[in-house]
Amino acid sequence: MGFSVMSKKLPTIWKAEPHTIAKIELLSAYLKAWFSILGTKPPRRNAELLYVDGFAGPGEYTNHPTGSPIVAVEAATSALNTHEARWRAGDIHCAFVELDAARMENLERKLKSVSFHPRVHPSTYTTSFVNGLDAIKTARPSPFSRAEPLFVFIDPFGATGAPFTAVADILRSRTSEVLINLDADGIARIFRAGDDANRGVLLTEIFGGTSWRESPSFDADFDVQCRQVLDLYKRRLRSLPGIGYVFAFEMRGKLDSINYFLVFASGHPLGLEKMKEAMKSIDQGGAYAFCDADVGQSLLFRFDDPAEFARRLFERHKGKRVPYEELRDYALNDTPFANPKRMLKWIEENDLIESVELLPGKTRCRGTFSEDAVNAVVFRQGAIHAQG
């Protein structure tokens, strides 16, 4: 049974599955980094930081004390306390949108029970994500239009409620980022529903246009379809101006794959770097897996084994001179790593690098590929013989 189907029966507060707790931990770890970095190095002095939780929930679970809004105000407080002396940004605003009045009531009660820094300002909107976003934009327009940091967490139940036009609108600003819980399972079911009238309306809303019509081959296996949905969604995000970094983490149930994904999109490499570090830092306990970029393949990933991805990096770039920045972007978008260093080390150990071009005045030791020293890498044309 898909998550979207399950969720319809849930009471005001429900029991969190392990992957839900992992999702909240990932968000918490990322927000600590996000508030800390932007608080101490804002794009301009006193720029306010705006965090929006578009599907906030009740703030707690029957088996877990903190929902996403609570970890957000805690992360904001912790960043302000830790970096008080070096804080250069303005205040932190946390806006929570929740459609269900009983859940919002619970959240408001819960928010009153936690103590947070006086420079953290929570606000609540009992309405839909789309209407809430409009209201937040009216109250705090600058993060939506200027270079003031904005992070939006979009965590609906199921496939609908977060139209692509809203996501695109958020990502119009230079410093905005989103983390979206994409219910590929639910979306694939909509595709499967056949050509009934509503299908076209829903899919056009989810993907922001009609590109879905050319996409998934809907006679494929259901798991493959879910990955095709993810692939199409990522392509839609990448098509937005300035959005160079898009990555998905697969979330797994206890028994088998449940086909939903956390999709992160940003215009800045540091954002994705920190998101990957956050993922690595949480206790995964099998609740998360790296989701391979190739449709139709799922790879349980081990962070300590770069060989598989080093092979792919080499195959993609063999016989070419590749600037370091391009290798970094490849590592961020197409591998689970935050940088290409360990993959390049593996490639060099296997004698597949022709030469390493250094920046003026720099030197390097074999096996090291620091972004401060390396300008470009020239890969051999050859075939990989290495094992392991």
Ligand X SMILES: C[S@@+](CC[C@H](N)C(=O)[O-])C[C@H]1O[C@@H](n2cnc3c(N)ncnc32)[C@H](O)[C@@H]1O
Q: Which is nearer to ligand X, 157 or 324 (CB)?
A: 157
Contact 30, 179 (CB under 8 A): yes
Q: How far apart are CA 33 and CA 72, in angstroms?
A: 12
Least distance in angstroms from the C-beta of 72 to ligand X? 10
Q: Which is nearer to ligand X, 67 or 122 (CB)?
A: 67
Among 30, 55, 261, 288, binds ligand X (CB under 6 A): 55
Least distance in angstroms from the C-beta of 128 to ligand X? 4
Q: How far apart are CA 118 and CA 87, in angstroms?
A: 14
Least distance in angstroms from the C-beta of 113 to ligand X? 16
Contact 267, 310 (CB under 8 A): no
Q: Is 371 in the site for ligand X (CB under 6 A)?
A: no
Least distance in angstroms from the C-beta of 275 to ligand X? 16
Among 42, 57, 271, 306, binds ligand X (CB under 6 A): 57
Q: Is 128 in the site for ligand X (CB under 6 A)?
A: yes
Q: How far apart are CA 88 and CA 108, in angstroms?
A: 29
Least distance in angstroms from the C-beta of 35 to ligand X? 18
Question: What's the DSSP call for residue 86?
Answer: G
Q: Which is nearer to ligand X, 28 or 339 (CB)?
A: 28
Q: Is 358 in the site for ligand X (CB under 6 A)?
A: no
Q: Is 185 in the site for ligand X (CB under 6 A)?
A: no
Contact 216, 228 (CB under 8 A): yes
Residues between 208 and 237 with contacts to ligand X, criterion CB under 6 A: none
What are the beta bridge partners of residue 180?
154, 263
Question: Taking CB under 6 A as the rule, which mask of x and - marks residues 35-54 in contact with ligand X?
Answer: ------------------x-
Q: Is 123 in the site for ligand X (CB under 6 A)?
A: no
Assigned token pair, 12: 């005001």
Contact 21, 64 (CB under 8 A): yes
Tell the residue number behind the tokens 């449709």, with chain if given. 295
Strand ranges for the chain from DSSP E: 49-53, 92-97, 120-125, 150-154, 176-182, 245-252, 257-266, 288-290, 321-323, 353-358, 374-379
CA end-to-end span of the chain = 38
Question: Taking CB under 6 A as the rule, which mask of x and - marks residues 160-179 in contact with ligand X?
Answer: -x------------------
Residues between 64 and 103 with contacts to ligand X, criterion CB under 6 A: 67-68, 97-100, 103
Q: Is 155 in the site for ligand X (CB under 6 A)?
A: yes
Neighbours of 296 (CB within 10 A): 13
User: How many residues at the interface with ligand X, by CB under 6 A?
Assistant: 18
Helix residue spans in 211-268 (DSSP H): 222-238
Helix (H, G, I), strand (E, B) or coil at 296: coil
Among 56, 136, 230, 322, binds ligand X (CB under 6 A): 56
- Interface residues with ligand X (CB under 6 A) are 24, 53, 55-57, 67-68, 97-100, 103, 128-129, 155-157, 161
